[in-house]
Amino acid sequence: MNKIKRAFLKILQGKIVYEDKIVPVVIKDHWYDTTPSITINGLNRDKDSCWRQQITVKRPLKEDHPLYDVENPLKKYPHLAEQSKHSYEIEINVWCNDERQRDCIVKQVKHYLFLARNNHYTYCSKYDSETHECKTIGEECRSRTTKGYANMMGVCPSPKEYNCCNIFGAYGIIKNTLNISDDYEKDEYEHKPPLKRSIIKITLDYYEVIVFPSNPAICHEPLQIDVGKIDDLNELIERYKNNG
């Protein structure tokens, strides 16, 4: 599954409710076989070729590597990597039976997109939704316990201290490139009865970092770094080099 689709699936899945029932949210290019439901599909918008650059990142070694330091397992070593920037378009389709369903569900979709975009604590990668704890400190999320602006807005009171990472940053999405369109209707009249369909389109840019199989470790998986708040490309590259 494409990681950008997966990010939006994570934002909406299990959150949308109609008449006390969870509305299914799935990755699909066409109508799901139940209503109401939500489908998510996407399209690569890279025009000719995407921007690419070779960089060096620092990562810990695997336990089976000959240079692995048992006494310092988190020690990082440099690895050659390729960083690329891509453009993408997400389409969120809301399928309903009537206008009442449509209005209720579309409002919820917009609400959760708003929370994710505005750094709500429930969309921080360090937040445990079952225990309500911050994984950095092993205690209840400070946004829930701190009085004042942070509590009122539902944001982390000290992002650097608690290593806060917004969901968009966790998936390499550059948050300031997000463009969320107004919803529009495209009902399916060939179905009997007709299906009510509303569409929300989102365009964005994201970074992908692939670590090459090279000394000192062999690493194939893409890195997911919080780049959502970085506007300056040089700052991004410097962060990769220094922190991995």
Q: How many domains does the chain have?
A: 2
Question: pTM of the prediction?
Answer: 0.78
pLDDT tens-place string over residues 98-113: 999 999 999 999 999 9
Question: Could you tell me the pLDDT band of residue 241, with boundaries at 50, 70 and 90?
Answer: very low
Residue 228 in this model has a pLDDT that exceeds 60: no
Task: Give burial (CB, 10 Å; 0-12/13-18/19+) of 226.
Answer: buried
Considering the domain architecture, whether residues 18 and 96 belong to the same structural domain is answered as yes
Last-in-domain residue among 109, 134, 163: 163
- Residue 31, pLDDT score: 76
CA distance 58 to 70: 18
- Using left for φ > 0, alpha for ψ between -120 and 50, and beta otherwise, residue 19 falls in left
Considering the domain architecture, whether residues 129 and 176 belong to the same structural domain is answered as no
Considering the domain architecture, whether residues 65 and 179 belong to the same structural domain is answered as yes
Considering the domain architecture, whether residues 75 and 195 belong to the same structural domain is answered as yes
Considering the domain architecture, whether residues 59 and 152 belong to the same structural domain is answered as no
Last-in-domain residue among 134, 163, 192: 163
Percent of the chain with pLDDT over 70: 84
Considering the domain architecture, whether residues 36 and 60 belong to the same structural domain is answered as yes
- Comparing 229 with 36, which gets the higher pLDDT? 36
Considering the domain architecture, whether residues 18 and 112 belong to the same structural domain is answered as yes
Question: Could you tell me the pLDDT band of residue 216, with boundaries at 50, 70 and 90?
Answer: low
CA distance 25 to 13: 5
**Mean pLDDT for all residues in the chain:** 84
Considering the domain architecture, whether residues 23 and 128 belong to the same structural domain is answered as no
- Comparing 242 with 168, which gets the higher pLDDT? 168
Last-in-domain residue among 163, 183, 217: 163
Residue 140, domain extent: 122-163
Q: Where are the alpha helices (DSSP H) in the chain?
A: 3-12, 99-117, 142-145, 149-153, 167-170, 233-243
Percent of the chain with pLDDT over 90: 55
Considering the domain architecture, whether residues 152 and 193 belong to the same structural domain is answered as no
Considering the domain architecture, whether residues 39 and 100 belong to the same structural domain is answered as yes
Question: Could you tell me the pLDDT band of residue 226, with boundaries at 50, 70 and 90?
Answer: very low
Considering the domain architecture, whether residues 151 and 171 belong to the same structural domain is answered as no
Considering the domain architecture, whether residues 134 and 185 belong to the same structural domain is answered as no
Least confident of 15-19, 186-190, 216-220: 216-220
- Comparing 79 with 9, which gets the higher pLDDT? 9
pLDDT tens-place string over residues 41-96: 999 887 665 677 777 788 888 888 888 888 898 888 888 888 888 999 999 999 99
| Nearest in space to 149 (alpha carbons), one of 118, 189, 180 | 118
Residue 150 in this model has a pLDDT that exceeds 50: yes
Residue 164 in this model has a pLDDT that exceeds 70: yes
- Residue 134, pLDDT score: 94
